[in-house]
Amino acid sequence: MSGMAFGGADEGESGGLIARASDIAQGLNYPKTAFFHIAFKTAAILIYMFGSWFSSNFVNIFVLCVLMLAFDFWTVKNVSGRLMVGLRWWSEVRDDGSTDWKYECRDGNLNATTMDVAIFWIGLLTPAFIWFIFGVGSVFRLSFDWLLLIAIALALSGANIVGYVRCKQEAGTRLMSGLQGVMGRTGMGSNVMGQALQSAAGKAFGL
């Protein structure tokens, strides 16, 4: 692997890039998942930005974008989250009709590297930010057609972001209460310390 990196440096630009890419890929446990995690989002953004170069038809671009965003939503919710960070969220409907949102975190050892986790979170948050900038630009240009598309993009990415952040918080609170339990049992900390921890956790994660 490192031999490839050195060879890349000798062979010039394209060789260097490929070597870097494969280095990054080596650092990942789930290269295909990571690729798709990024691919659909990037495709949606690129189609939005450059679609008008290829087709003057608003409808085609809109539909393509929405389809890419929908695939991305499905991928992130069902595949990337589970594999790359061990989190998942879903909803169930109770009998009286109210919705129950469930968040789960994998307790066992996670088969993903820090690179996986980094790519997941960066890939989750950056496109939302980019779409928001597009949205502001669209409002200033008063083009409400595209604003519809941007609203859809923000809604879908927002849903995933909220879901996973809540997942993380749930995992955090469970960790905190687990730690507290341990501390109480071993008598390591006084009650005061336990209370402080709990209130800190509450403030950090409380909604």
Which residues in this chain contact another protein in the complex, by CB under 8 A?
A: 57-59, 62-63, 66, 70, 91, 93, 96-99, 144-145, 148
Task: Describe the chain by its helix, strand, coil percentages, rounded to 5.
Answer: 80, 5, 15
The conformational region for residue 84 under phi > 0 = left, psi -120 to 50 = alpha, else beta, is alpha
- Least distance to another protein from the beta carbon of 100, Å? 9
Q: How far is the CB of 38 from another protein (least distance, A)?
A: 22
Tokens coding 157: 């990415």
**CB 22 → another protein: shortest distance, Å?**
35
Whole-number minimum distance, CB 160 to another protein, in Å? Answer: 14
Identify which of 123, 109, 118, 26 has the alpha carbon closest to the alpha carbon of residue 76. Answer: 123
Cβ-based neighbours of 67, under 8 Å, separated by 6 or more: none
Residue 25 or 63 with smaller CB distance to another protein: 63
What backbone torsions phi and psi does residue 104 show, to the nearest 5 degrees? -135, 145
- Give kind and range of the element (H or E) at residue 105: strand 99-105
Q: Among residues 62 and 120, whose Cβ is nearest to another protein?
A: 62
Looking at the Cβ atoms of 13 and 96, the one nearer to another protein is: 96
Rank residues 98 and 191 by Cβ distance to another protein and give the closer one.
Answer: 98
Residues in the chain, total: 207
Minimal distance in Å, beta carbon 91 to another protein? 7
CB-nearer residue toward another protein: 2 or 56 = 56
